[in-house]
Amino acid sequence: MLKGKDMLSIHDLSVDEVQEILALAKELKAKQKAGIEHHLLKGKTLGMIFEKSSTRTRVSFETGMYQLGGQALFLSNRDLQLGRGEPIKDTARVLSRYLDGIMIRTFGHDRAEELAKWADVPVINALTDLLHPCQVLTDLLTIQELKGKNLKGLKMAYVGDGNNMTNSYMYGCAKTGMTFVAATPADYRPDETVTKQAIEDAKLTGASITLVTDPKEAVKDADIVVTDTWASMGQEDEHDARKKIFAPYQVNKELLAGADKRVIVMHCLPAYRGEEITEEVLEANADVIFDEAENRLHTQKAIMALTMC
């Protein structure tokens, strides 16, 4: 269903397409663990545009393409004429003549959308300031592994900044029938348009989307608690001010006392221990968090295989 399509947002995916990605990710993970070759993209090439640096994104996409039998090209601003002011539409049309797919990790979401508009090959959003769909699809896979395939009715609580992760979690929970509650300071809520779209999406699956300001209210009886750094890339100059604002939103042992007894805590990394999450909670959930990090590889392989095959 996804062949030849862009993957910019979970909102753009159907309920069935989300499940298709998760099912293939699970299958490819099993094959990789068993040492079974799965060269679904043999002879194909992915261009990886990085306007924001990353550890997990670069390594997982590059390794994933290798395991799928293809090749990945790392393209920073120093490697592209984009860094010297070439229009995105020209870069998109040129790269489409050489590549079978393009991945972009950038700042404004409009840059990913413009790239997709002009490219003749699938474009995958590896992160923008608005959305992080690959990470949230990864997290859904991880939750399936730990809580069972049917996610409907599970409660996810997000605590912290209403950022690109919060936005994408709303879409992901809406598409899978989960209950989602985000606790953020009033002035740091997730994107209003995304929130409205997620609430509409939720009607298809019986999911629910709720925004609150009280972390304890959000975490009450939660099956999954997630958080993210308080100052995202590009917000470093706000770090000290944000630490004061978000101090009541730390995920710690006291906050988790109100969650379900079998609660799992997730973090997309990098984590700043002592800020959004305590050392104690992170290490108690380290197996979950690093399984989550590993699953970026398997989920993104599924996305690449389904869009580029």
Amino acid letter for position 137: L
Per the annotation, the verdict on 268 as an active-site residue is: yes
Per the annotation, the verdict on 135 as an active-site residue is: yes
Per the annotation, the verdict on 173 as an active-site residue is: no
Per the annotation, the verdict on 228 as an active-site residue is: yes
Q: Which of 161, 173, 268, 300 is catalytic?
A: 268
Residue ranges at the known binding site for carbamoyl phosphate: 54-57, 81, 105, 132-135, 268-269, 296
Q: Which of 109, 132, 242, 267 is catalytic?
A: 132
Per the annotation, the verdict on 84 as an active-site residue is: no
Residue ranges at the known binding site: 54-57, 81, 105, 132-135, 164, 228, 232-233, 268-269, 296
Residue ranges at the known binding site for L-ornithine: 164, 228, 232-233
Q: Which of 11, 105, 267, 298 is catalytic?
A: 105
Per the annotation, the verdict on 161 as an active-site residue is: no
Q: Which of 11, 109, 296, 298 is catalytic?
A: 296
Q: Which of 135, 144, 197, 250 is catalytic?
A: 135
- What are the residue numbers of the active site? 105, 132, 135, 228, 268, 296
